[in-house]
Amino acid sequence: MPRYLLTALVLLLSPPLLADTLEQLLPAAVIQPITAQLQHNDQAHFAVVDYARRSTSPRFLVFDRTSHQLLASYRVAHGQGSDRDYDGFAEHFSDTDNSHASSLGTFRTGDNYQSTQPGHGLSLRLTGLSTSNRNAEQRAIVLHGNGYMEEDFIRQHGVAGRSHGCLVLSSEDRYQAIKALPTGSLIFAIDTRRADHGYLEPLQQ
């Protein structure tokens, strides 16, 4: 089959979001630790990244904190170290320096800034609140944009690009996500293939 036809088929087969609330989209086992942490947060919105979904799927999900209504969904990259065979699925997670992997857990958004890294532009600082992502600041894990998340790149390659562990969106999606998630908002990076979601446990203060 010609590559362009295969690419189009992959995009068409990416599972759509057929539900529109947190409770409809995620299993109960992961909703409980998410809602427990939201009780101590007063921001209007929060986000969930489900790394069980392929990188071509809209898996960065923005919700209203009060109603749990889905407000927006975007594609987001995972780390090179999480997808060593580059098939679009994150299979390994790490919070170790130079792993270039994504990490699971709860992040809190910080200030936004203009990155000096080529192609990154407006970026959003993140702090890891879980044992599984406590080194996020040390690893310079942030939310930013990059060309390898644009529609043209994905159509050409059949898969989104990979980051060094950062949450990377297309340029326009990055602006929308930063606007929706001001300082103090929570982002839950999860894997719904797992039965145990202990990685969402907050750090002991």
| Beta-sheet pairing, 60-64 with 70-74 | antiparallel
Which pLDDT value is given to residue 181? 98
pLDDT band at 15 (very low <50, low <70, confident <90, very high): very low
Segment 137-179, tens digit of pLDDT: 999 999 999 999 999 999 999 999 999 999 999 999 999 999 9
Mean pLDDT (whole number) for 82-93: 98
pLDDT higher than threshold 70 for residue 12: no
User: Of 2-6, 15-19, 65-69, 100-104, which gets the smallest average pLDDT?
Assistant: 2-6
Segment 103-119, tens digit of pLDDT: 999 999 999 999 998 88
The whole model's pTM is what? 0.90
Sorted by where each starts, the structural domains of the chain and their CATH numbers stand as: 3-16+42-193 (2.40.440.10)
Segment 59-68, tens digit of pLDDT: 999 999 999 9
C-alpha–C-alpha distance, residues 182 and 3, integer Å: 40
